[in-house]
Amino acid sequence: AGEACSVFESGNVVRFSIRAYAPIKKDGAVIGVVIVGQDLSNNSTLVDGVKKDLGAEATIFYGDTRVSTSLVVDGKRAVGTALENKAIVDAVLRQGKTYFGDNMLFGRDYRTAYEPLKNGDNIVGMIFVGVDISQAMAARDAIIKQIGLAGLCSLLLFASLAWWLSKVLTR
């Protein structure tokens, strides 16, 4: 059609990529095309760059399957694993919505964002960025326990004081 475009593509050699096409024209006629692309599958440079620059984990999904990720499980990148949270899969891949919220990934709590990747109206995958909040949640739980313990000790102290004071006053 003689127009520039960009698309996400899947294939046998390169599992998932983004490509841009631009026509080469001479005297108004298309005589060729320039194609540039980036392999998104197993592209640790891209997701590791996000992790380095933002301090957040990053993943590229083809459908609901991780094709490139900075998430490491048992010493290996979690490539080839599916997103287990079906509510997020439905919201992002089926409804085309951006998702912001907490999600547990591989036993750790993350504050997350998921964004659909589209070819026109077709959703072909999604991207993820998330910050591990497990330590913050553990610290919050420890503070709640300390406050509860301090409250219980205070309650016991004041109950003992009230009991002692009632004994003194009734004599």
Residue 70 has pLDDT above 90, yes or no: yes
Q: Residues of the chain with pLDDT > 90: what percent?
A: 51
What whole-number distance in Å separates Cα of residue 90 and Cα of residue 151?
44
How far is residue 83's CA from residue 11's CA, in Å, rounded to a whole number?
21
Q: Does residue 138 surpass a pLDDT of 90?
A: no
Distance of CA 79 to the CA centre of its chain: 14
HSE of 108 in the Cβ direction (CA atoms, 13 Å)?
Answer: 15
The mean per-residue pLDDT over the stretch 23-45 comes to 89
pTM score above 0.85: no
Q: Which two tokens stand for residue 165?
A: 């004071």
Mean per-residue pLDDT for 134-155?
A: 77
pLDDT computed for residue 25 by the predictor = 92
**Closest listed residue to residue 163, CA positions, set 100, 89, 155, 150:** 155
